Copies of this chain bind each other. A is one copy, B any other.
Amino acid sequence: MGKIIDGSTQLLGIVGDPIRQVRAPEVWSALFKANGFNAACIPLHVKPADLQAFVAGLKTIQNIVGLIVTIPHKPAAVHLCDALTTRAELVRSVNVMRREPDGRWTGDILDGFGFVQGLVGSGQRVAGRRALVVGSGGVGTAIAFAIAEAKAASVHVADIAKDRAADLASRLEAAGTPSGTSEAVAQGFDLVVNASPIGMKNEDPIAIDPAGLERGALAGDVVVHPPLTPWLSAAKQRGCHVQPGTVMMDNQLMAMRDFFRFPEGDYTPANVARVTAG
C-alpha cells in the first residue's frame, strides 16, 4: 500500500474550528505524494480561546513548514506572527503562516491574491478597472485589497452592514486607493465581485443587481457551490467574463506553493483533480 508518513515527513498544518469540512489535508497530502515531496497536511481543530497557546506550541516543532489558517482564526492569527507581509497588515488577517529558517514565522493573506491571479491567468486585466466588492467580511476585505494592489482605478464596497463597508472603504482610501461605499448594483463598475455568501442556497436572491452591467466587465464570485451562481449566470448572459469561486481556490493553491516554498512540482488545478480522483 506504500508509505504514507515516516519519521522524516515534514508537516503543513491547517487550523480551524470546525475542521472536518476542510479539503486541504486531502488535496495537499495527495499533491505532496504525487510530487515526491515527503510531507503531509494535517487537520488541527483548535478553539478560538486556545489559539495563542496552540501557535506557541506549534512554533516549537522543527519539522513543520507552515500553517494554513481558516475560519474563525484568520484575524486573531495576525497577532501571532513574527512578521507580516504588507497586504496581511492592510487586510489585518492571515490565512498562511510560514516557518522561516531562523524559526521566526511570517504571515500572509492569499485569499484575495488567488482571486486576482485567477483573472490574470485567464488573460484578464485588473489594472485601471473600477471595482465593486459586495461583502466586507474577511474574504471581501482580502479581495478588495488584492484588487487595489493590482492597481485598480478604484475599489468600492457594498454591504448590508453599512458601518463595516464604510470602515473598509476608509482603510482602502488610507492605503491610497480611491474608494467609497455603494449599493450592490453593477451600474458604473467594470469589475464586480460577490464576496458574500449569497448564492449558496437555492432560495437566495441574486447577490448583485446586474442592471447596467456592460459586456466588457468582469464578474467574480467567492461562492464555490453552485459554480454558476445567479449573479454569475446573469453576468454571463450579458457577455461578461465570469470567474466562479473554485478559480480563486485553485489559484490560491499555487500561491500557497510559492509562499511555503515547496519543492518544484505540479500544483496545477489539473493535477489536483487527477491526484484526488482515486
Q: Determine how close the nearest CB of chain B comes to the CB of A251; give it in whole angstroms.
A: 21
Copies of chain A in the complex: 2
Is A254 located at the chain interface by the 8 A CB criterion?
Answer: no
Query: Which of B6, B30, B43, B46 has a CB less than 8 Å from the CB of A7?
Result: B43
Is A34 located at the chain interface by the 8 A CB criterion?
Answer: yes
Q: Which residues of B contact A175 (CB under 8 A)?
A: none
Q: Which residues of B contact A11 (CB under 8 A)?
A: 42-44
How many A residues, CB 8 Å from partner?
45
Q: Please indicate which of the listed interface residues A5, A41, A45, A47 has the most CB atoms of chain B within 10 Å of its own CB.
A: A5
Q: Which residues of B contact A19 (CB under 8 A)?
A: 7, 62-63
Q: How far is the CA of A19 from the CA of B20 in the complex (A)?
A: 28
Structural contact, B62 and A45, CB atoms closer than 8 A: yes
Contact A5:B57 (CB < 8 A) given known A47-B62, A62-B47, A63-B19: no
Q: Which partner residue on chain B sits nearest A24 by CB separation?
A: B7
Q: How far is the CA of A2 from the CA of B26 in the complex (A)?
A: 10
Q: Which residues of B contact A47 (CB under 8 A)?
A: 60, 62
Q: Determine how close the nearest CB of chain B comes to the CB of A42; give it in whole angstroms.
A: 6
Query: What are 29 contact pairs spanning A and B, CB under 8 A?
Result: A1-B2, A1-B30, A1-B33, A1-B275, A3-B30, A3-B278, A4-B29, A5-B25, A5-B26, A5-B43, A6-B25, A7-B22, A8-B20, A8-B43, A9-B42, A11-B42, A11-B44, A45-B61, A46-B60, A46-B61, A46-B62, A47-B60, A51-B60, A53-B56, A53-B57, A53-B59, A54-B60, A54-B61, A57-B58
Considering the complex of A and B, which 4 residue pairs feature the smallest CB-CB distances, nearest first?
A57-B57, A50-B60, A45-B62, A54-B60
Residues of A bordering B, CB below 8 Å: 1-9, 11, 19-26, 29-30, 33-34, 40-47, 50-51, 53-63, 275, 278
